[in-house]
Amino acid sequence: MVRILSIILTVILSCYIAFSYVLFHKERNEHLCQGIEIIVRDSLDKHFVNESDLISLLKRDGLSPLKKKLSAINTDSIEKHLIKNEMISEAEVYKTPSGKIKLEVTQKMPILRVMSANDAYYVDNKGTTMPISQRYVAHVPIATGYMEKEFAENELYEFALFLQDNEFWNNQIEQICVFPNKEVELIPRVGRFRIVLGSLDDFEEKLNKLRLFYDQAIPKVGWDKYSVIDLKYKNQIVCTKK
């Protein structure tokens, strides 16, 4: 008898908890949104978007959750809309227990600035492009000259990704000059000379060869002896004296 009573009480308690949960969420969803909380990741390092930008974006496109019932707010739609912004890499939108809508946004990470004859933009660490910001300039290598966006998003992207991951060359290379035949010259931060890389084929092997030259020859002759260091030729470096 005691066991049966215990089972009945357990069932009643479970039903009550389930009913209370449903009722609570139903009432909660009928409440109006109490506000927006926004987190912009890496905001101390990059300033491509801020809170006011995101609020203005949602208002402009009719997606602001303010003064709307929580049940009527589609967080998935807001996420998808934010991702369409060319400055945003990732977005997560959800409802908080306090009745607010929280936005967590990750900005794109540029690794190359392109200043071509026809256009200007960044290439990010995922190989997509993003516009130049009027608010913030990223300190990344600059590619100038003649290049199609397809070349920037592929060959140049791979090269810029290598530079980002290599501390030595990331500190050394300041500018990438691209010619109509897709051959490349590099302008270093140290030394008054041009580095002729040629095509971007086997660029890592070419830079390894240059690093060896830096270590063995430059200490003997100095940084100002040559005007051009040519790496185009297999297994050799051709230098032009000033």
Instruction: Choose among 222, 48, 231: nearest CA to 132.
Output: 48
Q: Which residue in this structure is represented by tokens 């300033």?
A: 47
pTM given for the model: 0.79
30 CB burial (10 A radius; 0-12, 13-18, 19+):
exposed
Share of the chain above pLDDT 90, in %: 57
- Give the per-residue pLDDT at 67: 84
pLDDT tens for 217-227 read 888 888 888 89
Q: Average pLDDT of 199-210?
A: 94
Q: Which residue has the higher pLDDT, 85 or 1?
A: 85
- Give the per-residue pLDDT at 129: 93
Name the average pLDDT for the chain: 86
Strands 184-188, 194-198: pairing is: antiparallel
Query: Above 90 in pLDDT, residue 230?
Result: yes
pLDDT tens for 17-36 read 444 444 344 444 468 888 89
C-beta atoms surrounding 139 within 10 Å: 7
pLDDT tens for 37-73 read 999 988 767 889 999 999 999 999 889 898 888 888 8
pLDDT tens for 146-184 read 999 999 999 999 999 999 999 999 999 999 999 999 999
Length of the chain: 242
Strands 142-145, 173-178: pairing is: parallel
Amino acid at 218: I
